[in-house]
Structure 1
Amino acid sequence: MKKYLLATALVALGSAPTLAADLAARPYTKAPALAAVYDWTGFYIGVNAGVGIGRDRFQHDWLGNGSVNSFYVSPQGGFGGGQVGYNWQTGSMLGPIVFGVEADIQGAGLSDDRTTFNEIGVLRNYSQKLDWFGTARGRIGIANGPVLSYVTAGFAYGNVKTNASASFGAITNTFSNERTAGGWVVGSGVEAALGGNWTGKIEYLYLNLGNRSDLATLGATTPIQTELRENIFRVGLNYRIGGRPYAPVAAANWAGFYLGGNFGSGTGRDRSTLSLPAVPIAQTFNLAPDGINGGVQAGYNWQAANWVFGLEADIQGSTQQDNKTCILACTPGLTVAYDATLPWFGTLRGRLGYSIGSTLFYATGGLAYGSVKTKINTASFVGPVTQSFEHTKAGWTAGAGIETPFTLLGLLGPNWTTKTEYLYVDLGSTSDNFIIGATPAMSTRSVTEHIFRTGINYHFNSPVVAKY
């Protein structure tokens, strides 16, 4: 959890201090006239949509003999809903500060029913679903005219359905529970004016809906312990009620080379299997590496009026890790425990964007590549053994983001920008053969990652400054 809090805070800080200046028109045109001060104060109402992924850790000693399985059920899917809120804008030494409150509710289709353990005549299955959720949050941000960078936190709640079953031949024992869980939420985002009274935003939220212990009779009557953790990536559209409509100034000059750095967080949902054909045993489960990533990027943009076309390459190190997954018996004498990491990854992407004043909204996609490491720690009659595997994999990525001016309390010039973006990364699958005692085994891992990050760029051009 500390990794998420640190990454979220730094994402917000990286995108927040856009205080003083906009990128403006091309050098060969006259700077646009000063615009009226943009004021975020007032009510707003809007809609949102996005994708969510759970990292819900289960622990279950289904036989009641001390052999506790530890694994992640990762509900994933889309959602959509609405929000309403109110902002107050006030001046400070840092510039315009915006305080706000916001409430939202969404219908969701986040589910995962793939976790199955098939162990010599016994078939166990675990599933979880989040079919709606909502939040009530405070927001605080720094405004740079029509761009607001903010952090947010508050109360979260949602409807969670948990199911488990164990089949012994023709006999099946089941467990089912549905409840409305409450907890807390923290996150960050960037919101920018689109024109008139409309604004658009990109946002990340981390929902902690608490822990739960339920008694289930699958083999023996024992607790199923679950941790409910959801990662939410979404875009939103708001309509400000009242206030001065926004008339965008001339599009900023995005053409040319740029170079920068980035920092953020990542969460994996790596569909995995373990099979021992000779026994027979077949397990399907999730590895869920999460952590912090950071690195550098370089790119080039071409511009036609407000449309921006670009290429960007980046590479970063990552601390993403899952060392909590333990399947099979997980007793001192028989263990299969995983340590799954993503040490580094990179992308080579095209970008297509539209500049509204000095704010660039863009979509991006292309090639992804990275290093996939899996350590499998086994214990059997031969004692503990660690077997390690490493692969460099290639796949694809797609995402979206917002890029805006960045001056860091006036210390940086008008050639600097900051961006906040979401990327989905698919690095394909790996397959590794190893030994448990004297029994051959095979493990597979399909690597998919959700990345939310912020970055700063230096543009090798000469924009004219236009202040709000």
Structure 2
Amino acid sequence: MDRDMYLRAGMPALAVLAAISLAAPALSQTSTAIPAKAYGPVWTGFYVGAAFGGGALVNKMNTSAGGASLGLDGLGSSGVLGSIYGGVDYQVLPKAIIGALAEATLSGFQSSATAQVPGAGATATTTAGLGWSVLGRAGFLANPSTLLYLVGGYTGQNISTSGTAVAGGAVASFSRNDTVHGWTVGPGFETMLTGGWSAKLEYRYSQFGTTTPSGTAINITPSTQAIRAGLSYKFGGLAAPSYDEQATAYRPEKTNWTGVYGGVAGGGGVAVNNVSTAFGGASTSITGAGQGLLGSVFAGADYQFAPQALVGVMGDFTWAGLQSTASLTAGGGNATIAAQANRAWSVMARLGYLPTPSTLLYAAGGYAGQNITSTATAFAGGASAFASQDNTFHGWTVGPGVETVVTGGWTTRLEYRYSQFQQQQILSGVGIQPETHTVRAGLAYKFGIGAPSPSIASE
């Protein structure tokens, strides 16, 4: 599935959050003078914060000269990022928030490709550095302390491109900085901690316009997928609305998270494949990247051993379409190579903290497996050739998540995963080390959730 289909289909993560929002009951807008402390946190006001995270850069590249053309979808890399942001929210309904924010982000996403033959070599590098965004967001309060939201708007990014070629003792190089503009969108969870402090987990897909470095015939269309975990402080400062429904005092009910659960999730992500080849005196190194959708089923069990802490285990199976391709057309023939991460599975432990009785912040990690199908097709002079191979990779996965109780035993979650797998020879002289960045929004039913156990309730 190519990226255009990925965008048209939209992210299942957004659909899950939107479905939860639409299912919320309609609430009255009649105002009464009710102290904020009587019904829980007030979300109206200004805030500032900082976030840290990671993700992947994917560059779709194509070039042509004479009768030859080369297309790569895409070149990519993994990296980390840090950002600062500020914004304002307004609680328009008892369970609805709208707001606006701006942020600046510094990232370290860099993709590269190298090739060497006896007496010659070439290297090309693309780096995403400083970025900025102006965004709107709209959210639904799953409970007075936890906000599920969608965010989107304008984004800009500085892209640095450089390259060097050496042949016969001669050296040629280029370096260029470009600013690309585009849009960004994604889901997020935010939960109040204490006082004016809140924590959030937010995923973003960003798509930028095409740039062509001067002096080259290379067209580059970048996109990024990134996760941010942030800490914010809300100052207040706007007149907060109050409602009849909030007249009764807000008393968070203790919830027992101990029990088994099962669920489904949907989302998307990036597969980054570090590929190296060596044949005789020639070698190449390239970081390929493919984007796509995923769907998964999962199950697990949790044990709440303290009022604000739990441990658990879980496993999942995922179907994905994270595919990267490279195509070459020349001299009346063409060839295409594709690698698709299509199935994955994991067994993990998780450790969680409950800032409120109904919202869980957690970290999960453990074993992960991945199947990759590689295909190659060539046409020349009326003849054709095709090859396909499946390889299974083993490795580890880790990531943060947020889960909140919706109603009864139903919970919703947003979870990011970074997975890295071992390097493996898939063909003679061809090695690959895959890694993936994925986000998934899930809906689960916990069979044991309910009133706290006597040991928890008594604490």
Fold shared per TM-score above 0.5: yes
Distance 1:182 1:462, change over 3 A: closer
Aligned to 2:60, which of 43, 57, 63? 57
Name which structure has the greater RCO, CA cutoff 8 Å, separation 6+: 1
List per-residue Cα deviations over 1:40-81 (Å, max 9, x = no partner): 1111111111113110122234xx333323233324321212
From the superposition, tell whether residues 419 and 462 of structure 1 become closer, same or farther in structure 2 (CA, over 3 Å): closer
Mapping for residues 270-349 of structure 1, pairs under 5 Å: 270-277=273-280, 280-305=281-306, 306-323=308-325, 325-326=326-327, 330-332=329-331, 336-349=335-348
Question: Corresponding residue for 1:361?
Answer: 361
In the alignment, is the contact (CA less than 8 A) between 1:116 and 1:284 conserved in 2? yes
Instruction: Name the structure 2 match of 1:456.
Output: 443
Q: CA deviation at 1:177?
A: 0.8
Q: Alignment identity in percent?
A: 26
1:384-411: CA deviation from partner (whole Å, max 9, x where unpaired): 311111012221100010000124xxxx
Residue of structure 2 equivalent to 1:186 = 185
- Structure 2: how far apart are the matches of 1:176 and 1:248? 60
Structure 2 CA distance for partners of 1:336 and 1:272, relative to 1, 3 Å: farther
Match of 1:157 in 2: 156
Distance 1:362 1:174, change over 3 A: same
1:374 is matched with 374
4+ aligned runs moved over 6 Å, structure 1: 18-21
Contact kept in structure 2, 1:86 and 1:102, CA below 8 Å:
yes
Q: 2: distance between equivalents of 1:317 and 1:427?
A: 17
Matched, 1:13 2:15: yes
Question: Residue 403 of structure 1 corresponds to which residue in structure 2?
Answer: 403
Taking structure 1 as reference, are residues 375 and 384 closer, same or farther at Cα in structure 2, changes over 3 Å only?
A: same
Q: Give the counterpart letter for 1:197 in structure 2.
A: G
State the match for 1:225 in structure 2: 219
| Cα distance in 2, alignment partners of residues 146 and 285 from structure 1 | 46
CA contact (8 A) 2:166 2:172 kept: yes
Checking the alignment, whether the CA contact within 8 Å between 1:425 and 1:449 is kept in structure 2 is yes
Shift of 1:379: 4.8
Alignment of 1:242-281 (within 5 A): 242=236, 249=252, 251-277=254-280, 280-281=281-282
CA distance in 1, matches of 2:222, 2:49: 27
Question: Residue type matched to 2:263 in 1?
Answer: G
From 433, 436, 444, give the equivalent of 2:431.
444
2:396 paired with 1:393: no
Is residue 12–residue 150 contact of structure 1 (8 Å, CA) maintained in 2? Answer: no
Letter in 1 for 2:409: N
Given residue 183 of structure 2, which amino acid in structure 1 is its aligned partner? Answer: W
Select the residue among 231, 234, 241 that pairs with 2:235: 241
Q: Secondary structure at the match of 1:213?
A: coil
CA deviation after TM superposition for structure 1 residue 5, in Å: 3.7
Unaligned 5+ segments in structure 2 are 26-36, 241-248, 453-459
- Residues 123-202 of structure 1 aligned to structure 2 (within 5 Å): 123-144=121-142, 145-202=144-201
Distance 2:192 2:10 in 1: 23
Query: 15, 19, 38: which is aligned to 2:41?
Result: 38
- Residue type of the partner of 2:362? Y
Cα distance in 2 between the residues matched to 1:188 and 1:449: 19
TM-score, reference length from structure 1: 0.84
1-side partners of 2:178 and 2:290: how far apart? 27
Secondary structure of 2:448's aligned partner:
coil
Aligned equivalents of 1:302 and 1:379: distance in 2?
A: 58
- Cα distance between partner residues in 2 of 1:191 and 1:6: 27
Residues 156 and 207 in structure 1, CA contact (< 8 A), matched pair in contact too: yes
Deviations 1:304-337 (A, max 9, x none): 11111000000011122123x136xx42456553
Partner of 1:207: 206
Find the aligned partners of 1:142 and 1:263 in 2 and give their Cα distance.
19
CA shift at 1:166, angstroms?
Answer: 1.8
Q: Residues 299 and 326 of structure 1: is their aligned pair in 2 closer, same or farther, counting only changes over 3 Å?
A: same
Aligned length: 423
Counterpart amino acid of residue 223 in structure 2: R
TM-score by length of 2: 0.85
- The 3-state SS of whatever aligns with 2:422 is strand
- Counterpart-to-counterpart distance in 2, 1:106 and 1:215: 26
C-alpha distance in structure 1 between counterparts of 2:451 and 2:87, whole Å: 35
Deviations 1:267-324 (A, max 9, x none): 01110123332xx43221122122111121110111111111000000011122123x
Counterpart CA distance in 2 for 1:332 and 1:406 is 60
Query: Which residue pairs with 2:31 in the alignment?
Result: none
Q: SS at the partner of 2:172? A: strand
Give RMSD over aligned pairs.
2.6
Letter in 1 for 2:376: I
Q: State the AA in 2 paired with 1:372.
A: I
Return the offset for 1:198: 0.9
The 1:167/1:333 distance shift into structure 2, 3 A limit, reads farther
Whether the 8 Å contact between 1:51 and 1:79 is mirrored in structure 2 is: yes
Contact (CA 8 Å) 1:12, 1:149: kept in 2 or not? no
| Cα shift at 1:186 | 1.3
Contact 1:55 1:74 in 2 (8 A): yes
Query: Compared with structure 1, are the counterparts of its residues 307 and 37 closer, same or farther at alpha carbon in structure 2 (3 Å cutoff)?
Result: closer
- Closer, same or farther in 2 for the Cα pair 1:386/1:430, shift >3 Å? farther
Q: Aligned partners of 1:292, 1:377: CA distance in 2, in Å?
A: 24
Q: Equivalents in 1 of 2:251, 2:181: separation in Å?
A: 41
Distance in structure 2 (CA, Å) of the matches to 1:4 and 1:396: 26
**CA–CA separation in structure 2 for the residues paired with 1:7 and 1:196:** 40
Is the contact between residue 340 and residue 372 of structure 2 (CA under 8 Å) also seen in structure 1? yes
How many Å apart are 1:179 and its aligned residue? 2.1
CA distance in 2 between partners of 1:8 and 1:37 (Å): 34
* Distance across 2 between alignment mates of 1:138 and 1:447: 35
